[in-house]
Amino acid sequence: MYGVIVTGILTAKWSPDLKDVRCDLDPILIANYIRRTNALKSEIDIPDDAIVKFKQFWSDFKDSPLKGRNAILRGICPQVFGLFTVKLAVALTLIGGVQHVDVSGTKVRGESHLLLVGDPGTGKSQFLKFAAKLSNRSVITTGLGSTSAGLTVTAVKDGGEWMLEAGALVLADGGLCCIDEFDRHMREHDRATIHEAMEQQTISVAKAGLVTTLSTKTIVFGATNPKGQYDPDQSLSINTALSGPLLSRFDIVLVLLDTKNPEWDGVVSSHILSEGEPDKGNHEEDLANIWPFSMLRRYIHFVKGYFRPVLTKEAEMVISNYYQLQRRSATGNAARTTVRMLESLIRLAQAHARLMFRNEVTRLDAITAILCIESSMTTSAIVDSVGNALHSNFAENPDLEYAKQERLILEKLRSFDEFPDTNSMQ
């Protein structure tokens, strides 16, 4: 579906003169020019020299790949200071995994979904708008939706005939659907049908004699405020007033709490104030290290189409063992620890392999996927204190930091006595 602007002359057309039939006057437009409004966004041109630049970039960071990855992530929403966890989650969601079709023809979606739950002023809407600009096709809406169709689809009567009106998820088919105020003002029929739209990527319609299935192969990026003051002792479902089945469809759910942290407040205020001082040397150096928007957009589009990562045995073992550990230790988040979480881990690991410019999913990608899932869970199975995603910052030496996290996760997985063969995870 494309938006068009039609230029022409508006005139009237008389209906044929028939006996005993009232003569009607219909307005018609004699068009002389048609312009497609989203023609520029529908296709992203990637010249050969850009691909050479990407390959050169990764050869430069061959010895410290995570430093190279963080250089790319800094280009996501650069006006927002820090929030490393959120920027990584946005990148992995936009890149997505590989769609899998089993022997019976059942499709397992490759698109990831992301939900940001946070206090006002934590930058949720800025991430939504930036992600929409990065995507080659996007629709931004609120939970209420801009039309009577809302998020999904509705039947409307036009000129005595029933017709279907597409909602935001159908319009964003093949791209990204950004939903602000997710669930806050969501229509009742949207809540019922959004489950199918997010998991099966279709919407089945049977309204006013119209029976059809519409495609919604889209990434859902939602943002919502918690219901009142966020209570860490309560489950995510209670804090957000979102049902467990709906939450389980999101690959990553990040909670951004605006807690009082004097050190963080000082760093953020300095960053915001420095933006008004263009002569400041450090600020110019920071800008030099950030990927330009056009280059970042091309990179995301290129890795999505070029790489189809395959899991290595080592990555499979790490993901499988972590999933079993989560299943046994899940108490308050039973709705989150379903088979969907295993699929989410695979998708996120594949997305990270693409982000790292690779065609195979290694242990690094599997452990990064685990860290993303751990950050999105209120009760984590491995990391004792995940911390607030709002206060997550870029590490000075990310490769060294990762080595510590990898050691911690592998030790936890090995110490779990239910695993029979843990020696092979060396």
Structural domains of the chain ordered from first start: 121-224 (3.40.50.300)
In our burial notation (b when 16+ CB lie closer than 10 A, e otherwise), range 322-351 reads bbebbeeebeebebbbbebbbbbbbbbbbb
User: According to the model, what pLDDT value does residue 288 have?
Assistant: 47
Provide the whole-model pTM. Answer: 0.80
CA 347 to each of CA 59, 95, 173, 387: distance values in angstroms, whole numbers, following the listed order: 25, 10, 19, 24
Distance between CA 71 and CA 290 in Å, rounded? 6
Q: 140-199 pLDDT, tens per residue?
A: 887 665 555 677 787 877 767 788 888 888 888 888 888 888 765 677 666 777 888 888
Confidence of residue 397 (pLDDT cuts 50, 70, 90): confident
* Range of lowest pLDDT (39-43, 62-66, 347-351, 379-383): 39-43
* 16-23 long-range Cβ contacts below 8 angstroms, 24+ apart: none
Q: What span, in angstroms and rounded, lies between the C-alpha atoms of 167 and 153?
A: 5
Task: Report residue 12 as tokens.
Answer: 């009237």
Q: Spell out the alpha helix ranges (H) of 148-204.
A: 168-171, 188-199
pLDDT band per the 50, 70, 90 thresholds, residue 277: low
Write the pLDDT tens digit of every residue in 313-322: 888 888 888 8
Residue type, 227: K
pLDDT of residue 43: 59
Residues 6+ apart with CB under 8 A from 278: 284
Q: C-alpha 103: how far from its chain's center?
A: 28
How many helices (H) and strands (E) in the chain?
Answer: 16, 15
**pLDDT recorded at residue 416:** 58
Q: How many residues does the chain have?
A: 426
Lowest-pLDDT range of 42-46, 222-226, 280-284: 280-284
Q: What percent of the chain has pLDDT over 70?
A: 79
